[in-house]
Each structure stands twice: as C-alpha cells, then as structure tokens.
Amino acid sequence: MKQILGILLLAGSALGQDRPTVTNAQFEARAYPGHLKSLIDSDSPSWFGYAFTSSRKDDQSCCYSNNTVCGCRLEGNGETHITGSSSQNPVKLEGTPLRAVLFRTEHHSLERVNIYSLSCPLDAGGLPFIWLDKVPSSDSLAFLSSLAVPAASEKVIDGAILAIAQHEDRAADGLLARFSAAPNPDRTREKAIFWLGAARGDAGIPILKSLIAQDPSDHIRDKAVFALYVSNRPEATEELLTAAKNDPSPHVREQALFWLAQRAGDRAAAAIVNAINNDPDTHVKERAVFALSQLPKDEGIPKLIEVARNQRNPEVQKKAFFWLGQSHDPRALAFIEQVLTR
C-alpha cells in the first residue's frame, strides 16, 4: 500500500507545467477525448479537471494558513481545507495565466465546480482523479455554460460562472452578458454581473451600463452599480456618476453615491454635493451626507460643515451635524461648538 501511495505522490509531483500537483489520488492523465459531458457519468465519487488560460495572472486561488499558501484538500464536508502547516509545506505561487478547473461527480451527477491556481497543491482524498490535457477554450466555455442552469446546485452554478469569467477567451464576455440578463434567476444574474465588473475589464463596462440603463429591476441595477465599483476601469466611475444622478430608484442612487465616496476624487465629491442640493428624495439626500462622511477627511469635513451651515432641509442638516460629531475631527468640533455658543 505504501508503495502504491508513493507512486501516486510521485505522479502528482512530476507533472508538467500544465498539470497540477495532486497527491492522495488515483491519478490518471488522459488526452482530451473531444467531449466533457461523459465524464460526469460516474456512480462513485471522483474528480476530473483540465487547465485553461485565464485573463488574471495575479490571482492566487489556493488555501492559506497564517497568510501562507499551503494547498487544498478537495474532500471534507464539501469544502476545501488546508492540507498541511505552512512551516512544513510552504508554496510559492508565481504569476501564471493557467488555472485548473475541477469537477466533482457522484451518482452520475455533478456536485461541485472549483477553480485553483495550477501551482496550488491538491489532496484528492484517495478518489479517482482524471486530468485532461489540451482542452480547447471553446469546448471549456460551452461545457461550463451548459452547467449554469436553474436546476443545478448553487455550488455548480457559482463555480461555472466564476470559471467562465476567468477565461481569457473573449467569448466569455458574451456568455456572462447572457447569464446577466432576464429571464435567468436573480442569483445567476447577480453572479454574472459581479464578475463582469471584477474580471472582464473594458468589455464588462458596456454590458453593465446597458443593465443600469434598461433593466426594470431595482435589485439588478443595484448589483450592476456595485460591479462598476469593483471594476478597476476609469469608465466605471463615469457610469457611477450617471447612476447617482439619473437612476429612477432612490435606493440605486443612494448606492451609487456610497460607492462613489469609496473612490473619492473631485468628481465623486461634486456628484455627492449635487445629490444633497438637488435630489428630490430626502432619504437620498441623507445618504449623500453619509457618503460625504466616507470621503477622506480633508475632502469631506469642509463639505459637511457647508451642508450643516447652509442646508435648508432640517433632516438633512441634522444628518450633517451627526456625522460631523462622529468624525471627531478638530474642525468639525470647532464648528459645532461655534454653533452651540451663538
């Protein structure tokens, strides 16, 4: 038994750069047979997977202990776990465009879809593990998109959409746009919308813009606003400014103002002040005052003081005084003292 386990360990550690290091597994590497669906047809628990080229070279998808990468155990309550102590098994992950997408099957159905950096060590819990070489990106995306159906479990849908979002292939943009649209269930739409902002760069912005401009659901537009915030593209700020000013939903306008405050900048501050002065909804005005309190103090405190001094809406003025008091900034406290001693 020890000899067999040793062979399996060696098989995992001696793989090429386009294969993961897998231990404690009945490991088998195969040439891609031209299809993926048939691999689900396993009665007993097993894993299969393949590599794809990702658009994110800096992503370290692995398990950590004390902020040190130390590998993942695939089996155990359906979740990944640390496989060893960081002092015994330190792993350095280099930036690489390759990711491993893994599928757990049992009783002729798919149970989970997981994504890992290709350099992340994996423990398969003694199960069969089939690794497929050279799976075309088009086949990968077609298979993953077939998994994100309403009848699938949340773990399968979430993993499939994440894997699609990580593909470098630009066809992933169209798939995410499709999943972000009605009549998909809200949960599926939310996942696709988030990754349009977080992973698709410039290509995600017009899709999110279209959702905010046209989707009738306040909830979905709210999710699109957050996706713009997590996007690192300058164009995302433009769309946040537009949503903060023009969205028909007070809640969506509030959220856009809040996320603008987290980005700060002169244009964000101007949009927040504009909402305080001109938005027809008092609650939006109050949330805009809160957004001012989230700006860097040298930017937000003077504007809060101005609102507290000049705002005619008593509820909005009251909020400005409240957040000035919460700031504990000497300028704010001096202004409040001045008002109280008049």
Picking from 119, 198, 202, the residue whose alpha carbon sits closest to that of residue 161 is 198
Radius of gyration of the chain from Cα atoms? 25
With 0.95 as the threshold, say if the pTM is over it: no
Six-digit token string for 8: 């399996």
- Other Cβ atoms closer than 10 A to 267: 14
Contact 269, 304 (CB under 8 A): no
Per-residue model confidence (pLDDT) at position 42: 83
Give helix 266-278 / helix 234-246 axis angle, nearest 10°: 10
Per-residue model confidence (pLDDT) at position 271: 94
* CB-based burial, 160-187: b 16+ in 10 Å, e otherwise: bbbbbbbbebeebbebbbebbbeebeee
Residues in the chain where the model's pLDDT stays below 70: 1-17, 57-59, 77-96
Per-residue model confidence (pLDDT) at position 264: 77
Per-residue model confidence (pLDDT) at position 90: 43
Name the β-bridge partners of 102. Answer: 49, 114
Per-residue model confidence (pLDDT) at position 95: 57
Picking from 273, 279, 285, 271, the residue whose alpha carbon sits closest to that of residue 315 is 285
Six-digit token string for 46: 């097993």
